[in-house]
Each structure stands twice: as C-alpha cells, then as structure tokens.
C-alpha cells in the first residue's frame, strides 16, 4: 500500500462492509478501498461537507480514483456499533445540530428516490431470511408492520449522510467526535438519517436529536425506515458480520 509522502510502517485491517474495505496505516491514517470504484463526486462532497459540518468528517489526504482508494487522517473516537450511549442528551444534541446543518446544505449529491413500496417489498423478502432468529413474541408485531401500507411518499429531499448507523458515528468520552463513511450520501428524505438514530441509538437519543433539529421530518417515515433497515441489518448480520445481528436483536423492542 502506497500513500505519497507517507512512509508506511504498519497496515491493520479494520473491517469490511457492503461497499468498502478499510485499513489503518501507521495508527494515524485510514485508507478506504471502494469495491465499486471511488466517485469524484464523493470526494468533492467530503470537502464541501467538511467546510460546513459542526462535527469532524474525513478530509481527503490522498485519492486514487483508478484504484478506488481514499485516504484521510484518522478521526478520534470509536464507532458506537455494539456500544452504549453514556450521555443521550449530549450525543442527541450534537447529532441534532449536525443534521440541521447537513440537511440545509446546498451541496450537490446524487438523488436517491426509491419509493416506500420498494422498501417494504425488500423488508418482506428479508423477513423470510431472519424470522427464525427473532423472539416469538416480536414476530407478530413485525408481521403486522409488513402487512400494512407504507406511509405517504416524501415531498422534499435534502442532503443526507444516508447511512448514519452507529458504526459510522465516532464517540469518545460521551461526545461525538466524527461522522465517517459518506459513500452513500445523497439528496433524499431527511427522515432516513433520523431513522438510523432511532434504530441504533434508541428513542431517548432520537428525542434529544429532534429537540435540537431545525428541519422537518415525518415521524411515521422515521419509524418506517428504522424498521425496514433493522431487518436489513439482521440479514446482513446472518451472512457477514455477527455484530449487526446482535445489535439488531438488541434493538428489536424499541424499533417494533
């Protein structure tokens, strides 16, 4: 692995997701290798978001579009996936202020307008894969949700992180220290970002997030996206990363 101007002394694999593989170089640089190729628009978006965001985001240090490589200085903190929120008020307040700025930012990004009927159909398919792993007491609630009509389609779109799960929120000492992995960022329904706050961090953090949030988001769609994306995480956890399965099972009660 080569990074211009950097003597590589150590490379440690950090993990692999659906879209990327990540490494830590010299304990201070994160290198993300995109499986589908790195888009120039994504790098430009990171630079633009970094100029307005009240929370740290990755600032490109080295970019190789041909190899799909993006390198940036490591942000402090650890991902919240599998962890607990020691101070819901503090974390929720920071996320609310961050999302207020992000969702109002006039920064170009691809559109992501998948209809809610598509979300529901995919959730129905995924349920077939995960149903046997759910507690029997929860299954009727999930099945009732899957049999109901989706909410009304969103009328407005905003710049969203679009994958604001706990694994992409860094914290240290009860404070959010960074938001990482912007490969899915798009102009879409702002309820999607808020839904993942509910799914992964729970109703108390969402309540404090909304108390500091200056945008408009539909409560029904927040719950809808949270439930669909939880089923997606459970299926992913069965096939790739058990941490997502464990987290999803732990969050079933507050999402459903």
pLDDT over 70, % of the chain: 100
> What is the average pLDDT across 108-137?
96
C-alpha to C-alpha distance for 76 and 105, rounded to whole angstroms: 25
If you average pLDDT over each of 82-91, 102-111, 240-249, which comes out highest? Answer: 102-111
pLDDT of residue 183: 86
Mean pLDDT of 50-79: 94
Give 84's contacts (C-beta < 8 A, 6+ positions apart).
Answer: none
The predicted pLDDT at position 61 comes to 92
d(CA 44, CA 182): 11
The answer to whether 69 and 103 are in contact (CB under 8 A) is no
The CATH number of domain 78-255 is 3.40.50.12780: no
pLDDT score for 39? 87
- Work out the mean pLDDT of the chain and round it to a whole number: 94
72: its two tokens: 């940036």
List pLDDT tens digits, range 186-204. Answer: 999 999 999 999 999 999 9
Q: Mean pLDDT, to the nearest integer, of 217-222? A: 96
C-alpha–C-alpha distance, residues 214 and 64, integer Å: 37
Q: Where are the beta strands (DSSP E) in 10-80?
A: 11-16, 20-25, 29-34, 60-64, 69-73, 78-79
Alpha helix ranges (H) inside 66-176: 88-104, 116-130, 139-147
- Specify the CATH architecture of the domain 11-73: 2-Layer Sandwich (3.30)
DSSP H or E segment with residue 228: helix 219-239
3-state SS class at 253 = helix
Please tell me the predicted confidence (pLDDT) of residue 9: 93
Query: What residues are paired with 111 via a beta bridge?
Result: 187
d(CA 138, CA 118) in angstroms, rounded, equals 23
Q: How far apart are CA 102 and CA 154, in angstroms?
A: 18
- Contact of 255 with 197, CB cutoff 8 Å: no
Average pLDDT of the segment spanning 174-188 = 94
The model's pLDDT over 66-84, given as tens digits with 9 standing for 90+, comes to 999 999 999 999 999 877 8
* Model confidence pLDDT, tens digit, residues 33-45: 988 888 899 899 9
> Domain spans of the chain?
11-73, 78-255
């Amino acid at each position: 692995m080569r990074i211009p101007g950097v003597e590589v002394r150590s490379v440690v694999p950090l993990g692999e997701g659906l879209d990327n593989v990540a490494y830590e170089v010299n304990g201070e640089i994160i290198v993300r290798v995109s499986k589908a190729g790195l888009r120039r628009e994504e790098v430009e978006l990171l630079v633009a978001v970094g100029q307005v965001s009240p929370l740290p985001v990755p600032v490109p240090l080295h970019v190789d579009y041909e190899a799909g490589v993006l390198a940036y200085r490591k942000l402090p903190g650890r991902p919240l996936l599998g962890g607990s929120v020691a101070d819901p008020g503090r974390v929720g307040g920071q996320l609310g202020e961050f999302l207020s700025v992000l969702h109002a930012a006039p920064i170009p990004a691809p559109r992501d307008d998948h209809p809610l009927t598509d979300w529901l159909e995919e959730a129905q398919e995924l349920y077939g894969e995960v149903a046997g792993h759910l507690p029997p007491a929860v299954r009727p609630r999930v099945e009732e949700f899957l049999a109901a009509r989706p909410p009304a389609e969103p009328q407005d779109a905003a710049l969203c992180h679009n994958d604001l799960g706990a694994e992409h929120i860094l914290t240290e000492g009860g404070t959010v220290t960074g938001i990482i992995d912007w490969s899915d960022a798009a102009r879409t329904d702002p309820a999607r970002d808020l839904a993942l706050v509910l799914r992964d961090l729970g109703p108390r953090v969402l309540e404090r997030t909304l108390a500091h949030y200056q945008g408009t988001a539909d409560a029904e769609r927040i719950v809808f996206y949270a439930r669909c994306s939880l089923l997606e995480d459970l299926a992913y956890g069965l096939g790739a990363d058990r941490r997502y399965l464990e987290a999803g099972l732990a969050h079933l009660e507050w999402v459903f």
